[in-house]
Amino acid sequence: MNNQNIDIKELQNLSQKIPEKMPYIKMVILFGSRARGDINDKSDWDFAILCDREIAAKTFKNKVSSWFAYSIDLNEIFDLKTERIDVVDLNSCSDFIAHYIARDGVLIYEKNEGEFEHFRREKLKTESQMNVISKNLRAEIEEFLSECGV
C-alpha cells in the first residue's frame, strides 16, 4: 500500500483491527496535514488517541513502552510502512493541542459511539479562550527559558 495515497475511509475500515490489537484504545483521530487534505512529500501521520487508563496500565510496564507501542501498532494496523508517525495522548495533551485536534481532526475509530463528539464539545475553544491559553503558554515558555538562562 502506498501510504501517501491511503484515504480516510481505508483507515476507518482498517481500524476494525484496533479492539484486538490495541484493546486499551477508546478513540483514534487523524489530524494535521493529512486530515486537512494538504498533504505533501514531507507529511507525516499525526494520530491522537484516547486510552482507557486502567486497561493501558495493565498492558504496559511503563509509559515509555506505551509510547513505542502506540506508533508501532498503529503503523501495523494501518499498513503505513513508515517511521513518520506522531501520536498524541488525549489523556495528557494540552488544551492548546486538544483544541486543534478537535477542530481539524477526523475520526478514525471510536469504541463507544459519541466519544468524538463529546471530545469536540469539551475541547473546542472560542477565539478569546484560545487567546488566553496562548498567552499563558507563552508566559510558561518564557519563564522556563529564563530559568534555563536563555
Task: Choose the catalytic residue: 7, 41, 44, 86.
Answer: 44
What per-residue string of b and e applies to 83-98 under the rule 16 or more CB within 10 Å gives b? eebebbebeeeebeeb
Q: What is the rounded CA–CA span in Å between residue 56 and residue 49?
A: 12
pLDDT of residue 76: 94
Task: Choose the catalytic residue: 41, 46, 52, 89.
Answer: 46
| Mean pLDDT score, 133-143 | 94
Annotated catalytic residue 104: no
Annotated catalytic residue 44: yes
pTM assigned to the model: 0.87
Domain residue extents for the chain: 8-124
| Mean pLDDT score, 16-37 | 95
Q: Which CATH superfamily is domain 8-124 in?
A: Beta Polymerase, domain 2 (3.30.460.10)
